[in-house]
Structure 1
Amino acid sequence: MKQAYQAPAWIYQALQVLRPRPRLTVSQWAQAKRRVTSGAIPGPWNNSVTPYLVGIMDAFSQETVEEIVFAKPTQVGGTAAMENMIGSLVDQDPAPTLVVYPSDDLAEATAETRLIPMFKSHPDMAGKFREHESKKLQLSFRDMWLYLTGANSPADLSSKPIKNLFLDEVDKYPGATKKEADPISLAKERTKTFFNRKIFMASTPTLRTGYIWREKEAAEVEYHYFVPCPHCGTLIELKFAQLKWPDKEQVPDPAQRAERAVYVCQACGSVLTDRDKGPMLQAGRWQPVRGTSKRPRSVAFWLNTLYSPFTPFVEIVREFLRSKDDPDLLHNFVNSWLAEPWEDTKLKTSAELVLERQTGLPEWALPQWTKLVTGGIDVQENCLYWTIRAWGSGMTSQNVAHGQALSMAEVERIMNLPLYLPDGQQRVVNLALMDSGDQTDQVYEFCLRNADWALPCKGTAAMLSDYRLSTVNKAGSKAYGMKLVLVDGGKYKDLIAARMRRQNGTGAWMVYQGCDLEYAQQVTAEHKVTQRTGSREVQRWVLKTSHGDNHYLDCEVYAAAAADVLGVRTLFLEEERVAEQAPARGSVQKVTQEEAWIQARENWL
C-alpha cells in the first residue's frame, strides 16, 4: 500500500502566509489591536467598559448597512467608536476615506492628538502608515488615503470620490448657503460612485430641525439600548423621568437632594443605584423601537447620559438642579446630557390643554366681564373658517363660537347675530379681521360692504409691533385707500400659547363649554421650534405634522389682532378712571353752586 504524499513543512508555512486573515468586526478589531493613547482610560481598548458601543461599531461591519447614525450625549465614547471604525478600515479594508469635523482647526488637532497616535500604536497599522508622504489633513497609507477636513471648507467636500465617509458632531456644521448645499449633502455626493459605501454620522442633538435628529428620524430602523432590571429581570430603557430625589420641602439643600438620587425601575418599582449599572450594561442589548426592516440600509442608535459608566446618577441630578431655572443651562442639559433636541416648553400646546380651558358657559353666551367682541375669518379656496371671541380686562378672553361657512354671505349673517350677556344685555361683533391672502378682490369688496365691522388683514413678520395699520393700495380696486391690518402671526401665537397655559380666570384664554375636538386640534396644530438659518438660530411656528389643519388657529390670531386694534390692552385704564370718579361708599359728594344750578335744570338739555 502506497504511503500518502506529505508536502514539506516550508510549503505549509508558505500557504499559511498566503491564506487571507479572518475579517474581524470593528469591536473585535478594537479589542485586539486598539490602544487608547489619551482620555479617561488610556491603554488597550476594552469593550466591557462601554458595552453599548459594540452594537454601533459592528453595524459598520454589516454588509447590508450603508448608513449609521448615532445621536448621543457628550462623553459616552462616540468619537472613540468612530476612530475604531477608521482604524479597522486602515488595517483590514483600505479604501479612500473622508472624515469631516466642524472646522479645519478641529480636524488638524484631532489628527495630531488622536488619529496619528492610534495608527502608530499597533504594528499592523504602523507598517502601512506613510508619515513622510502625509500632510496635516491628508494621511497616506500603503493602500489608501485618509482625508480630513472641516465642514467650513466647501471645496474640500466636493472633490475626490470616496468610499467611506465619517461625519463628526454634525449639528455644529454650518448650514447651506445661496452658493453651496449643506456640508453633509456635499460630502455624501462624493460617495455616489461606490455601491458598497459606508457613512457614519454622530452628534449631540441641538434642535429638532438639526442634522442629527433629522437623520435619526429618517433612518429605516431606530435602536435604543435596553438593560435588565436586577430585581425583576425586565428589559428597561433608562429614562431621566425615573430618577427620583427628595423634594425641596423635605431637603432644602440642592446638593443634599442630588446625593440621595436613585433610579426607580419603571417595571417593578425597585430602587437601582450606580452599583447596579455596570452589570446591567454588560447584559444590555440594542432593540428596535421604530422600523421593522430585517435588512435595513440605514440604522440609527440613540443613547442618553444615564448609560454612561463615567457619570453617576447623582451627577446627572446635580446638573439638572443647577440648570433647571436658567433657560440657557437647561438647553445645554437637554442636548448634552439627555441627547434630546431643545424645545421651548413654555410655548407647547395641545388639544387636551384647550379642552381644559372650558368654562361653564354654553356656546353663543357672552361672559359677564365682556367689554369687546371680535371675530377672525380665514378664507380658503372652497370655504371659510370663522371664530368669535369675547374680551375683558387683562386680556381675558373666551371663544364664544366658531365654525365653517360655505360662503361669504353666510359669514356676514353669522357676524351680525345678536349676542347676550347673562343680564340680558345685547352685543354684536365690534370688529372682525378677514384674511386677504386668498380671493383678495372678493375679500376687499366684502370688507368694503361691511366697513362698520370688518377689515381685511394680511400676515407679515419682522415688525416691531404686533400689528400695523396700512391701506389697500391696489390700483383699480374699489377698496383703494381702505384700512388694511398687517398682522405678525408669530407674536399672536406666542400670546395665545402663553395665555392658554393659564388657569381659567383673569388673563386666561378660554373656550365655551362643549368645545369640539376638531377646533382644539386645529388651534394647537403648530408648535414653536428653533431653526438654524446659516449661522443663526431663529424660532418659528411650524405645523406639528405636514398635513395638519391650522385654520382655527389663524382665525384666533385675527380675532386677537382685532382686539388689539380696538385697544383691548388698555381696558383696565377705563376701569381705573371709572373707579376714581365713583364716590367712596358712605361719602358725601360736594356740589358747587354752578353744578347745583345745572342739575336742577337738567331737563332743559
Structure 2
Amino acid sequence: MRKYRVKPYKVPRWMVPAIEILRPRERVSVSVWAERNRVLPSGNAIPGPWRNSVTPYLVEIMDAFSDDTTEKIIFVKPTQVGGTSAMENALGSLIDQEPAPTMVVYPSDALAERTVEAKLEPMIRQCKALAEKYREHESKRLELKFQGMTVYLTGANSAADLSSTNIRNLFLDEVDKFPGATKKEADPVSLAIERTKTYFNRKIFLASTPTLKTGPIWKAKEEADAEKHYFVPCPHCGQFIELKFAQIKWPSKDDVPDQTERAEMATYVCQACGCIITDRDKAAMLQAGRWQAVRQTTTTPKSVAYWMNTLYSPFTRFSDIAREFMRSKDDPELLHNFVNSWLAEPWEDTKLKTNAEMVMERQTEVPAWSLPAWTKLLTGGIDVQENCLYWVIRAWGDFMTSQNVAHGQALSMAEVERVMNTEFSLPDGGKVMVNLALMDSGDQTDAVYEFCTMNMDWVRPCKGVQSLQGHYKISTVDKAGSRANGMQLVLVDGGKYKDMIAGRMRRPNGNGSWMVHKDCDLEYAEQVTAEHKITERAGGKEVQRWVLKSSHADNHYLDCEVYAAAAADVLEVRSLFLKNPDRAEEQAPKPEPPKPQPAPEENWIQQNENWF
C-alpha cells in the first residue's frame, strides 16, 4: 500500500492575529490575576502593583471565586484589612476572564456613585486588561459596559433596581449599613439574592463590618455551611494560634501612669507558650498563616464565612489597638465603634454580664461533696444530651443562699441515679440526700419520662418555656399510652433563672450569694457563663434574651443550674428563713471582705473574654 507524507501546514502570517484571538485563554485564580494585572492608585496604603504577600489572608477569600463548589462567600471584617480591594480584584477578574451579568450593591446610591468615581474607574483605567474591554461611551454612571457583560451598580435604598434583571455575580458591600425591610418590600439582601436564582453557577459575595448580632453579616456567618478563622504560627513555639484582643498586654497604671506610654509598650502574649510576640513578627506570621474551619456542617460547603479582627492587619500595630481601646473604653459610643470596627464583633448592650473568672471568685473553703453548715435543701439539675448527661447538685439555705457542692458528666441514667442518691453529711452529723432534681425532657423524651416514673420520689421531668408569669409552672405529662401520663411536669422559664443566677453571682460570697465549692474546675465555670443577655430589635421593639456568647460554646452546666434553681423554687426555697426566723441571722454566712477591683481596662476585657 502506498504511503503518503503529509506536509505540515504553514499558517499564513496574516492569520496569526486571528488565531491568537480565538485561542482559549488560560483561566487563573483571582489572586494570580490580581498580581498580574491590578495596580493600586496613589492614596492606598501601599500604592503600585498588587502583591498578595502584603495581605496573604485575602488570597483564599479571593480564590473562593475560582472554586466551583463555593456559591456564597461571607467576609466578616474590621476596617483597614483590604476587604474592599479583595472584592474589586474579584470583580476585575470576572470582567477579564469570565464575563457575565454582575451587580454591586452599596448602602446607598450616593455611595455607589462615589465608589465608581473614586475606585472603580481608576482601577479600570490603570489595568490594561480591563481598559481594553471597557466600553466607556456605551456606559452610564451606574451601568458600566464591558465586552460580553454589564456591571450594574446600585444602592440598597433602590428597591426597584434590586428586583429586576437576572444576574450571575452579586457583590454586597457593607451589608450591615443597608436599610431594613419595609411593609411593602423584603430586605435589600434578600431582594438582591433573588436576582441570582436562575444561575446554577452564581457567585454571591457579602462583606461588612458587623454591627449587631441580628445584623445581616453576622446572621450570614452563623448560617454559613463553614466558618473559618485565620491561624498563624507563634514564632517561639510554632503552634498555630488565633490572634485575640485579650492577649494584648500592657503595663498597669501603677507601673506606667502615662496612658500613651502604656499603649506604646503593648505586646502580644502567645496563649500557647506565654512568649512575647511583637509587631516585627507579624509579617512572617501572616505569610505562614492559614484559614482553618472552626465550624463546618458539610464536607463540600456551598457557603463559607471568613472572620478576622484588626490584629491581623499589617497596617495596624498592637500599640495602636491598645491606644484605641484606652481612648474608647469609658465612652459607650466610642467603645461601640471599637468593638465593631476593630474587633469585628457585634455590639451588644448587655444588661447582665458574667464570666468564668467571676465564678472562680465565688469559691468557698468547703470542698466538693461536702455541705456548708447552713444547708437546708439539696436540689439537682440534669441536662440530657445525645451521648451523655450533665448534672449538678446545689445546697440551699436561708435568703436563697446557695452553693454548688458537686457536678459532672454521666454516661448513663443509671449513673445519674447513683449520684443523686448519694448520702451527704452535714457538719453537725446529720445525713441528707437530694430532695428534688429536675431532668430536661427536651431530648430523649420517652427515656426521660420512663426514668422519672421509676424515680418519682426524687426527680421530675422539666421543659423550658418562655414568658411565664412566674419563674416556673406545674403542669402534667400528656402522653397517652405512657406510664408517665399524668405525671407532674415542671415548666421552667430559663431566662428568669439566668437573670437570678447572674445577679446573685455578682454578690460577694455570703448571705444570699450564689457560690461554688473549693477547687472548682474551669470547664464548669466557662459553661455556666457561656451565655449573656443582650438587647435586640425585633418587629420594631427592643427585646432582651439570653444567647450564647459564641456559636460553638457549651452551656450544659448553666442549664443544669437553672433546673436546680427551679427545683429549689418548687420546694419553696424562698420561704426557708420564715420557718426558723430566730436562727436566720445566726445561720446566714457572713460576707467576705471585697476583693481589689481590676483596672478599668482590665475589667472590660475580663467581662468580654469569652467573645474570643
TM-score range, shorter chain: 0.5 to 0.7
TM-score of the superposition, structure 1-length normalised?
0.67
Question: Against the structure 1 CA distance between its residues 105 and 279, is the aligned structure 2 distance closer, same or farther, given a 3 Å change threshold?
Answer: same
Question: Against the structure 1 CA distance between its residues 150 and 11, is the aligned structure 2 distance closer, same or farther, given a 3 Å change threshold?
Answer: closer
CA contact (8 A) 2:102 2:170 kept: yes
Matched, 1:224 2:230: yes
Q: Distance in 2 between matches of 1:232 and 1:374?
A: 47
Aligned to 2:311: 306
2:353 aligns with one of 336, 346, 361: 346
Following superposition, the deviation at residue 238 of structure 1 comes to 3.3
Matched, 1:32 2:46: no
Aligned to 1:500: 505
Matched, 1:249 2:258: no
Amino acid of the structure 1 residue aligned with 2:230:
H
Aligned to 2:475: none
With 346-355 and 284-293 compared, the bigger mean Cα shift is at: 346-355
> Considering only aligned residues, what root-mean-square deviation do their CA atoms show, in Å?
5.9
Question: Against the structure 1 CA distance between its residues 41 and 260, is the aligned structure 2 distance closer, same or farther, given a 3 Å change threshold?
Answer: closer
Aligned to 2:98: 93
Question: Against the structure 1 CA distance between its residues 349 and 82, is the aligned structure 2 distance closer, same or farther, given a 3 Å change threshold?
Answer: same
Please give the secondary structure, in 2, of the residue aligned with 1:510. strand
Please give the secondary structure, in 2, of the residue aligned with 1:495. helix
Cα deviations across residues 415-463 of structure 1 (Å, max 9, x unaligned)?
xxxxx998999xxxxxxxxxxxxxxxxxxxxxxxxxxxxxxxx987599
Following superposition, the deviation at residue 38 of structure 1 comes to 5.8
Aligned to 2:48: 44
Cα deviations across residues 255-287 of structure 1 (Å, max 9, x unaligned)?
212111223445665543323333443x32424
Following superposition, the deviation at residue 200 of structure 1 comes to 1.3
Q: Distance in 2 between matches of 1:101 and 1:120?
A: 22
Question: Against the structure 1 CA distance between its residues 352 and 272, is the aligned structure 2 distance closer, same or farther, given a 3 Å change threshold?
Answer: closer
Following superposition, the deviation at residue 215 of structure 1 comes to 3.3
Matched, 1:151 2:156: yes
CA contact (8 A) 1:522 1:551 kept: no
Q: Distance in 2 between matches of 1:387 and 1:178?
A: 50
Amino acid of the structure 2 residue aligned with 1:9:
R
With 525-534 and 306-315 compared, the bigger mean Cα shift is at: 525-534
1:189 aligns with one of 191, 194, 214: 194
Aligned to 2:131: 126
Cα deviations across residues 572-602 of structure 1 (Å, max 9, x unaligned)?
xx99x99xxxxxxxxxxxxxxxxxxxxxxxx
CA contact (8 A) 1:154 1:180 kept: yes
Size of the aligned set, in residue pairs, is 536
Cα deviations across residues 363-405 of structure 1 (Å, max 9, x unaligned)?
8x7x7779x9999999x9xxxx999975656x74457999xxx
Following superposition, the deviation at residue 541 of structure 1 comes to 1.5
Following superposition, the deviation at residue 197 of structure 1 comes to 1.0
Amino acid of the structure 1 residue aligned with 2:124:
F
Matched, 1:201 2:201: no
Following superposition, the deviation at residue 42 of structure 1 comes to 6.5
Question: Against the structure 1 CA distance between its residues 568 and 160, is the aligned structure 2 distance closer, same or farther, given a 3 Å change threshold?
Answer: farther
1:320 aligns with one of 306, 325, 332: 325
Following superposition, the deviation at residue 164 of structure 1 comes to 0.5
Question: Against the structure 1 CA distance between its residues 130 and 16, is the aligned structure 2 distance closer, same or farther, given a 3 Å change threshold?
Answer: closer
Q: Distance in 2 between matches of 1:77 and 1:261?
A: 24
CA contact (8 A) 1:374 1:559 kept: no
Aligned to 1:416: none
Amino acid of the structure 2 residue aligned with 1:106:
L
CA contact (8 A) 1:358 1:512 kept: yes
Cα deviations across residues 134-175 of structure 1 (Å, max 9, x unaligned)?
444433334222223333444433332211111222333455
Following superposition, the deviation at residue 198 of structure 1 comes to 0.9
Question: Against the structure 1 CA distance between its residues 24 and 350, is the aligned structure 2 distance closer, same or farther, given a 3 Å change threshold?
Answer: same
Matched, 1:284 2:284: no
Gaps of 5+ in 1: 403-419, 426-457, 469-485, 579-605
Structure label with greater radius of gyration = 1
Amino acid of the structure 2 residue aligned with 1:255:
T
CA contact (8 A) 2:355 2:526 kept: no
Aligned to 2:177: 172
Question: Against the structure 1 CA distance between its residues 305 and 459, is the aligned structure 2 distance closer, same or farther, given a 3 Å change threshold?
Answer: closer
Q: Distance in 2 between matches of 1:206 and 1:491?
A: 27
1:8 aligns with one of 3, 12, 30: 12
Q: Distance in 1 between matches of 2:531 and 2:82?
A: 34
Following superposition, the deviation at residue 191 of structure 1 comes to 1.6
Following superposition, the deviation at residue 199 of structure 1 comes to 1.4
1:532-543 equivalence runs, <5 A: 532-533=537-538, 538-542=543-547
Q: Distance in 1 between matches of 2:526 and 2:40?
A: 54
CA contact (8 A) 2:74 2:207 kept: yes
1:490-529 equivalence runs, <5 A: 490=495, 492-510=497-515, 524=528, 527-529=531-533
CA contact (8 A) 2:211 2:340 kept: yes
1:337-486 equivalence runs, <5 A: 337-342=342-347, 344=350, 346-348=353-355, 356=363, 359=366, 390=396, 392=398, 396-397=401-402
With 30-39 and 343-352 compared, the bigger mean Cα shift is at: 343-352
Question: Against the structure 1 CA distance between its residues 108 and 462, is the aligned structure 2 distance closer, same or farther, given a 3 Å change threshold?
Answer: farther
Q: Distance in 2 between matches of 1:14 and 1:81?
A: 34
Please give the secondary structure, in 2, of the residue aligned with 1:159. coil
Following superposition, the deviation at residue 74 of structure 1 comes to 1.1
